[in-house]
Chains A and B, each alone.
Chain A
């Protein structure tokens, strides 16, 4: 695919190419394929609506997500508070919207951090090989020995206090190995190809080879995994907040809104308090997974779905 692309760019006047006027760039082909996937497009639309709703939260409700009103503790829905109030008398609708901001931001920034660590270490391991590769991959093996939630909870147990920043850091530090392995695997096969040898022969720096030749060629798996990772992180954040070791109260997140339902009274009497955040997580994760699957088909040059 790479070779074809270069021919088009450098020699556009070859008769063979003139015939084929409609030839598209790989990006356009991928976009076309993506737009044909109905579920993926639906995912983009619904996710956009959710993102807009949490960004413009102040326009939707004028309640504060953190202000307690002790007169309204566990009160049911009313005109002012459509989803009722939580155990500390805070407005549930406002918490749902502002909590969505935190949940999405945590998921997104954890994804970006993991991506940076994973791509960096994967590039180093896959490009240089040898002892550096061995060290990085052994560390990855060791971190992957424990199920993610166990190692994350163990790290939380030795932290004096968890904040949004440190929570994102914990996720990134304990979950980069997966991505690193995938990227390293892709690089190992790229390393031996002629265009890389060529780039080396004309004296391109390691940095240039990694960023100009390796990453663009591995972009498919990177993008797909990053998307699916964000969905996983949103679930992880909510699960850890649910059992009380995620983002601490009073900061709202979808997970710690649901954690109120650990009290059997709230679980039974106020489904309007804990079902909406659960559905929000569910729908968001579903949309992101649809988008991820759509991207996988769209970015795979071997895919024959056109």
Chain B
């Protein structure tokens, strides 16, 4: 098993390397250079050439790549083109924590809803509640998240006024518990919007997993021994049904980070997603590169954790 984990981690490293090559390659394919649009037409072409030489833009492409990679590894992400002279690190700081908060919150709601509902549907399959849940999960998968977000803003923020329609806090002066609840209040609508697809998927997943486990021989044995239904359910079934679900959450990280781009766009939530959208409209390549890399890194990490988690709980899985 340790062999498997070590080999899996060793595969992770070339994947990361490939990720940096892809992102760098895509950006090299972009038209223009860092001077595009900034250049005074009266500048002497020779000065321009000197500047390019000084920045190393005339070096062979692999030299540029390794220089860029070296800078990235040292935490130097370069300067934003649009926010003149601002370090990318600066720009990212608050954005990353906002997106992580939103992602964690939505994952939390996903688990909170889908696991109990999935269990309940599985205990009473083909009941009215089970059919209702199935119908809702079909709806949840078919409705575009941004449309759901707009409908939620329209009803819950504009018509009913229960929740704010955008932002992360209502006033910068709040502190302590008040600040915490205010933040949660702002997170509910975006969190639900982001978690919608996951909720639908995981409810269905949980239901089929519990149904699967319930049909096992050891469950029949437990019942035959005269255990109460609750013990059977919580002690024998849940443990086995939850394992694959929890490890699968690792794969969810990529989906959440990707979904956050759209959700943040709907709620004008100041996270990585809105920064990514803005950078793409303004062609701010250094920022686009870093965000794509970060999302790729977290997605890969999530997949790695899911694979390792899976192999830990299910010894049948081996790397071929």
Contacts and interface: CB of A to CB of B under 8 A. Distances in A.
Interface of A: 141-142, 145-151, 153-158, 160, 231, 235, 238-239, 242-245, 258, 261-262, 264, 267-268, 271, 274-275, 278, 281-282, 285-286, 289-290
Chain A residues touching B, majority SS: helix
Given A238-B144, A264-B165, A267-B153, A158 B29 contact: yes
Chain B's interface size range is 35 or more
Contact of A154 (B26, B143, B165, B254): B26
Interface of B: 15, 18-19, 22-23, 26-27, 29-31, 138-139, 141-147, 150-151, 153-154, 158, 165, 254-255, 257-259, 261-262, 265-266, 276-277, 279-281, 283, 285, 288, 292, 295-296, 299-300
27 contacts: A142-B15, A142-B18, A145-B19, A146-B296, A146-B299, A149-B258, A150-B261, A150-B292, A150-B295, A150-B296, A151-B292, A153-B261, A153-B276, A154-B288, A155-B26, A158-B26, A242-B144, A244-B277, A245-B277, A262-B266, A268-B158, A282-B143, A282-B144, A285-B143, A285-B144, A286-B138, A289-B142
A154 B144 contact: no
Contacts of B280: 153-154, 156-157, 245
B184 to A, nearest CB: 23
A217 to B, nearest CB: 24
A91 B259 CA distance: 31
Contacts of A150: 257-258, 261, 276, 292, 295-296
Centre residue among A150, A235, A244 by max chain B CB count within 10 A: A150
A282 B150 CA distance: 13
A286 B262 contact: no
Chain B residues touching A, majority SS: helix
B31 A239 contact: no
Contact of A258 (B139, B143, B146): B146
Centre residue among A142, A145, A261, A282 by max chain B CB count within 10 A: A145
A110 to B, nearest CB: 16
Nearest to A146: B296
Contacts of A142: 15, 18-19, 22
B157 to A, nearest CB: 9
Given A149-B261, A158-B29, A278 B277 contact: no
B258 A147 contact: yes
Contact of B283 (A145, A146, A153, A157): A157
B158 A267 contact: yes
Given A157-B280, A239-B262, A278-B151, A145 B18 contact: yes
A239 B145 contact: yes
Contacts of B143: 282, 285
Centre residue among A155, A243, A262 by max chain B CB count within 10 A: A243
Contacts of A244: 277, 281
Contacts of A261: 150
A114 to B, nearest CB: 18
B258 A148 contact: yes
A268 to B, nearest CB: 5
A146 to B, nearest CB: 5
